[in-house]
Structure 1
Amino acid sequence: MFKKKIRVSSGVSQLDRQLGGLFIGDNVVWYDSAGSLASIFSLNFIQESQRQNKALIYITFDRPPKSLLEDLGPLAENQHLTILDCFTHGKGDGSEVFSKFYEKDGARWPYQIVRINSPGDPEVVSDAFYNLHGTMTGDVRFVFDSLTGMQDLWGGEEAIGKFYSRACPRLYELDTLAYWIMEKNAHSERLRANINQIAQVAIDLSVNRGKSALTILKADKRRPDALNRPLVYWNDGLDVVFETETGKGGNIDLGGRVKEIRNRQSMPQKELAALVGVTPSTISQIESGTIYPSLPALFKIAQVLNLPVAAFFENGSTAVDQVVFSDGGTRINLPNLSKRDVTGYRLSPADFDADAEPYLIEIPAGKKLSTHFFIHKGQEMGYLLQGRLELKIGNRLHQAGPGDVIYLTGELPSQWKNSGEETAKLLWVKIRK
């Protein structure tokens, strides 16, 4: 009987969509052409594993424990993490500089660090992590950092190929999930081809003209649309954002998405620019596609518009299947109206693509508005929850009280007035034409 494949996340949602997710049993090889690109994906993998309370063994050949702990940051302080130190008595040559870590700091850490005294022997290393695995339950996760470091210590590609060809199938049968990192240019095409043949997933990371790119080389039992096609991405902290998504219409119009979401919130370019800390001309050029925003600017734009950065790179809302929204609404700007006279809240997410857009409009007692809330060509309707309102359309005045419905199909009101003694609260819906 075949085992049912269990799909899990890599911790990077857009990678999951491009790849088709990870399966328990996968050995994922990361070919890093710059030597530093795979780290962000490993960190997300570790974070996701910890979120699921999964045991993870990190085998380090290239970095001493102290340096690795600094890179892991808060992720290091987790009871499910075990570090297998193959550096101190490997590339570190047992130097007192590195050994002092165990005398001074090692005993005080809240995680487990296991020092391997003979990391130059592949069998010793194998026995160490298999023995550790035997003490753990569930689908244990592994990060091997790195195959290149193993090769430097073990004396050539033949040893690496032999070790990998044995470990990969065994880890698969043990229902683990393993990341293997290697510096692409430090190994021959022959070795890479042999590793690709055994691995379930192979991913290439490169830098071209200052842009980082991810290319899916292999994905067993999955059919990624982007196979063998570079996908440009960037990261800020642990957030990874792809410039394009395949299978959803090709290239994403970043500037167009910024403009669309800004307009849905009725925010002028000038105001967005002031809140982001750039010139209105910069926002105009971003929205027209003339320039790309810097990474800090992009994250600031997302913060101001109150949505995740990923929303700029998706054709349609991430909330397309969501039924209930519980964030209480997002305050918006109403053009040409004073904030003292009226307050507006959008009740659905800014990136939610629907035929009806609900808002809550609040007008304090005694306030008069000299124009309508929105410039909208479609139909609009509202339900007065509280208070009394007077609206003027053409030469006619209309009165509305609690429970009344207001329906607009053509000419917009030229004036709104709160004629009551309490704040008027109006549930308002814009309907697409």
Structure 2
Amino acid sequence: MDLGERLKVIRKRHAMSQRELAKRAGVTNSTISMIEKNTVSPSFSSLLKVLKGFPMSVEEFFTLDLVKSNQVVFPVDEQADMLAQGVALKLIGHNIPDRGLSMLRETYPPGADTGEEMIKYDGEEAGTVIEGEIELTVDYKIYHMQAGDGYFFRTNLPHRFRNLGQGTAVVISANTGPTSTHPDKESESAVSPSLPA
């Protein structure tokens, strides 16, 4: 199921009109309509803003099937695949109830970016670059990291990840908190029409 269809199904499950979701999320009605029709693909931060209208985490959004709560091992084909702003994410244990930790493998092709709008939510994040180079911005301070470098920050600080290098970058990260319900309210970005669905 593509991103637009998934949004439409979830919106209908919540018995919301496009207008009501747009109002709750603080975006225009046309933004919701264009995403559902796949005429635009939202940046990661814009998707966070839209999902705030439910509220729902990115993980919940991309994973509609249920996993047994006693499952311990998650083969690669059972890890939830998510794509936002060209960043491919694999989430381990995506539907474990009341999970307080998200573990991700993040793959950034050259030029990939979590979005111009900074991400911000209550929690913590730590990770390590295992391949390539990443530019990490936390609280508007820029850090350049390469394979082997790690990071830790409180996610109530606005943050962003970008691959400005020539090759693919891979990050393994773990975060706590409601990972998709509190985008930085100071930013006005809505959608980016140039992104893949």
Specify the TM-score bucket, using the shorter chain as the normaliser.
0.5 to 0.7
Q: From the two aligned structures, give the one with the greater helix fraction.
A: 1
Change (3 A) 1:424 1:352: farther
Who wins on radius of gyration, i.e. which is larger?
A: 1
Equivalence for 1:419: 164
Q: Deviations over 1:182-202 (max 9, x none)?
A: xxxxxxxxxxxxxxxxxxxxx
Q: Does the CA-based 8 Å contact 2:120-2:157 persist in structure 1?
A: no
Once the 2 structures are TM-superposed, how far is the Cα of residue 284 of structure 1 from its aligned partner? 2.1
Cα distance in 2 between the residues matched to 1:343 and 1:331: 7
Equivalence for 2:55: none
The count of aligned residue pairs is 130
Q: Amino acid of the residue matched to residue 324 of structure 1?
A: V
Change (3 A) 1:395 1:349: closer
Q: Does the CA-based 8 Å contact 2:140-2:158 persist in structure 1?
A: no
The equivalent position to 2:141 in structure 1, one of 391, 396, 419, is 396
Cα distance in 2 between the residues matched to 1:273 and 1:350: 18
Q: Does the CA-based 8 Å contact 1:370-1:416 persist in structure 2?
A: no
Once the 2 structures are TM-superposed, how far is the Cα of residue 412 of structure 1 from its aligned partner? 2.4
Q: Does the CA-based 8 Å contact 1:391-1:399 persist in structure 2?
A: yes
**Residue 326 in structure 1 maps to residue 75 in structure 2:** yes
Equivalence for 1:348: 93
Q: Deviations over 1:201-244 (max 9, x none)?
A: xxxxxxxxxxxxxxxxxxxxxxxxxxxxxxxxxxxxxxxxxxxx
- Stretches of structure 2 that go unaligned for 5 or more consecutive residues are 17-61, 179-197
1:24-423 alignment runs, 5 A limit? 271-274=5-8, 276=9, 280=11, 282-285=12-15, 305-308=63-66, 318-320=68-70, 322-328=71-77, 329-334=79-84, 338=85, 341-368=86-113, 369-372=115-118, 375-409=120-154, 410-413=156-159, 415-423=160-168
Q: Amino acid of the residue matched to residue 431 of structure 1?
A: T
Q: Does the CA-based 8 Å contact 2:63-2:94 persist in structure 1?
A: no
The TM-score, its normalising length taken from structure 1, stands at 0.27
Change (3 A) 1:354 1:394: closer
The TM-score, its normalising length taken from structure 2, stands at 0.54
Cα distance in 2 between the residues matched to 1:399 and 1:271: 37
Cα distance in 2 between the residues matched to 1:375 and 1:344: 18
Change (3 A) 1:366 1:272: closer
Matched residues, percent identical? 17
Q: Does the CA-based 8 Å contact 1:306-1:330 persist in structure 2?
A: no
Change (3 A) 1:417 1:429: same
Cα distance in 2 between the residues matched to 1:345 and 1:386: 16
CA RMSD after TM alignment: 3.2
Cα distance in 1 between the residues matched to 2:144 and 2:151: 10
Once the 2 structures are TM-superposed, how far is the Cα of residue 386 of structure 1 from its aligned partner? 0.7
Q: Amino acid of the residue matched to residue 429 of structure 1?
A: A
Q: Deviations over 1:264-293 (max 9, x none)?
A: xxx98x65244x4x8x3x22228xxxxxxx
Equivalence for 2:182: none
Higher relative contact order (CA 8 A, sep 6+): 2
Q: Amino acid of the residue matched to residue 394 of structure 1?
A: D
Cα distance in 1 between the residues matched to 2:127 and 2:92: 14
Once the 2 structures are TM-superposed, how far is the Cα of residue 376 of structure 1 from its aligned partner? 2.8
- Stretches of structure 1 that go unaligned for 5 or more consecutive residues are 1-266, 287-303, 312-317
